[in-house]
Structure 1
Amino acid sequence: MTRKKAVIVCPGRGTYNAAELGYLARHHADKGDFIAMVDALREAEGQTPVSALDVAERFSLARHTSSENASPLIFACALADFMAIDREQYDIVAVTGNSMGWYLALTAGGALSHEEGARLVNTMGKIMQAEGRGGQVVYPVVDDDWQPVKEAADFIEASIGLAAAPGSQMNIHASIRLGGLMVLGADEKGMKYLGNRLPRDGRYPMQLANHAAFHTPLLSHVPPLAQEKLGAEMFAKPAIPLIDGKGNQWSPWSTDTTALHGYTLGAQIDTTYDFSKAIEVAAKEYAPDVFILLGPGTTMGAPVAQELIRHRWRGLTGKSAFKTRQGSDPLILSMGMEDQRKLVVG
């Protein structure tokens, strides 16, 4: 049997919500050793084990989406999903991720061991819980058929420029380029401005609960704190090529682990994370047959598809064309969706 070439996409924060409660228990009862390792790390820090968070009686926005809880919980779900992929069906040619998903990509790709990946994610979750500043707002820059809306993009760029002008009393920055969505990071005044001035579009502008202004200069104080706690010695050359938030590739043959550490705990924290560019590079450089999106959650499918449509990849021209293709020969398989999950797991 010829294996399909697959690019793996790791999720970021905000992907474990009420619908995902029990995800670990439902899908990964056979990965007790891995989950126990993450739990032990948490317990050593006096924190609630991820297995206990996962089987809580009810979902709590404050508890389950806090930085120090959400990050390791998503890490455990996503890495367990990665381990469940049927390697006889899929040849994994590259790994990328969105925002916090970069830490997961490092672990899935072998640049970090499972233990070191869990330590990095948990440590960064604690740092962000204590040191996070500002917030994030999500706004679409595509229409219902996932075609670009120039007016929305222009308004966002103008808002960023206004905040950067001399004498401005607010901060607004491009945080994540996420397919057809733009994630903006801002301080309190910037968040208020965006909430009042961005044109209403259904549920948008959407403020993300318990999210700081990650990937912006508002967190420029965080890299020294992270680098003090997490040294370069924990990094290794990846076993699988990695694509970061600038679209750069980290190869198993040429990666400088000191530089990888420097990016991960430096520019990755306080400069724009270009997930769109990462997907473009993945598509053009690796020509995968399929993108496999690790769980939990199902929110990453649209941004990946929107970026592929932007480049007319495999003839995709819009949302309707994408849905038609998905029904016959899927280009994207989301492990957070039961019907697609069955096509991925061994």
Structure 2
Amino acid sequence: MRAALIFPGQGSQFLGMGRDLMQISMFKKRMQQVAASLQLPLDVLVDLKSKQMLLSTEIIQPYIFGISVALYEMMCAELSFQPLVVAGHSLGEYAALVAGGVLSFETGLQMVRLRGKYMSLAADKGQWKMAAVLGLSAEVVADICEEARHTTGEILRIANYNSPTQMVISGSVKAVEHASKLASERNAFRIAPLQVSGAFHTEAMQEANIAFLKVWSKEQLSSPKLPIVMNATGTQLTEVGDIDHAMRIQMISPVQWASSVRTIFQYAPDCLIEIGPGRVLSGLVKSMDRSQQILNVGNIQEWNMISKKLKPIHTA
């Protein structure tokens, strides 16, 4: 099967994610590494009970990364699976880099843990908010952001171009709420606040990005072993230097997800597989092309289903 893989980002989390997969030793091993990196007991990590922990950028980013990569590794090891092309949404791009052979799991985990730490520290320095705006074009939402910035004098921009009719706006609470009101007046279908604590993919993350680059710059990236579609450009990048540059600006640049999906479509995959918690990316893909086949791997039931679907047939 010619399959494209897409890895979700922060905002896809839910209480208890990954818990039912702990019965699989390969998955449990990776979760143990994630828990150790966060200095948390494993049972606490996989059984988060408080909304505060669920919204903790510092905890959730490594947690989602670990789930996604562990499931990908299980698919490769047990199903002899090789993807056609990979991409990840924001945080999910780190899982895509591991799948593409650019980063090891251990290096990816370290980078994601520090990324979450620095982003969390930046978020604590202000009152921030992100919200998805559905039913309006990018041009209209950009105009709304400009008006809200002018009125409030505070940070606001489109952070995610998720589909032709879904943008995520990011900035100060005051600016996002003012823009949300304007979007409603312009007949937005829906405005949905996200489960995040910072103004991600805006200049509010500049200080966090500078701190992160001090560690990122020390890492040696490997050449990709398969096509990787990058957030910053929405295109496939093949040179290590180009991938490195895209990651250096990822935290402070908009996520060009709609363009990324269009690039994936050019590979004409038989299906797209979302690997990780939730089905956020599947919904975005379907909103762009309902004919696309989408599979999900995020819990034990979905793992068992895809195992049967992709299990290699050995003949004598």
Q: What TM-score, normalized by structure 2, do the two folds share?
A: 0.85
Distance 2:201 2:42 in 1: 26
Q: Does 1:182 align with 2:176?
A: no
Aligned match of 1:129 in 120, 125, 147? 120
Q: Does 1:210 align with 2:196?
A: yes
Residue identity (%): 21
Letter aligned with residue 223 of structure 2: K
- Quote the residue 2:109 is aligned against: 118
8 Å CA contact retained: 1:333, 1:341? no
Distance 1:174 1:268 in 2: 14
Aligned match of 1:70 in 60, 65, 78? 60
Structure 2 unaligned regions, length at least 5: 312-316
Quickly say closer, same or farther: Cα 1:19–1:178, change in 2 above 3 A.
farther
8 Å CA contact retained: 1:6, 1:94? yes
- Quote the residue 1:250 is aligned against: 237
Deviates more, 1:96-105 or 1:199-208: 199-208
**Residue-pair matches, total:** 301
Quickly say closer, same or farther: Cα 1:230–1:67, change in 2 above 3 A.
same
CA drift of 1:299 comes to 2.0
Aligned match of 1:169 in 125, 131, 153? 153
- Quote the residue 2:208 is aligned against: 222
Distance 1:41 1:220 in 2: 25
Quickly say closer, same or farther: Cα 1:98–1:256, change in 2 above 3 A.
same
Distance 2:118 2:211 in 1: 8
CA drift of 1:5 comes to 0.8
Q: Does 1:22 align with 2:19?
A: yes
Query: Hey, which bits of structure 1, 4+ residues long, moved more than 6 A?
Result: 200-203
Letter aligned with residue 11 of structure 2: G
CA drift of 1:49 comes to 4.5
CA drift of 1:293 comes to 0.4
8 Å CA contact retained: 2:229, 2:235? yes
Pairwise CA RMSD: 2.7
8 Å CA contact retained: 2:96, 2:228? yes
CA drift of 1:101 comes to 0.7
CA drift of 1:157 comes to 2.4
Query: Is the partner of 1:235 in helix, strand or coil?
Result: coil
Cα deviation 1:171-198 (Å, max 9, x = unaligned): 3211001124211112232122024333
Query: Is the partner of 1:296 in helix, strand or coil?
Result: coil
- Quote the residue 1:264 is aligned against: 247
CA drift of 1:202 comes to 10
Distance 1:210 1:64 in 2: 9
Distance 1:22 1:304 in 2: 27
Q: Does 1:237 align with 2:223?
A: yes
- Quote the residue 1:300 is aligned against: 281
Quickly say closer, same or farther: Cα 1:197–1:162, change in 2 above 3 A.
closer
Q: What TM-score, normalized by structure 1, do the two folds share?
A: 0.78
Distance 1:233 1:341 in 2: 33
Structure 1 unaligned regions, length at least 5: 142-148, 310-315, 317-321, 323-330
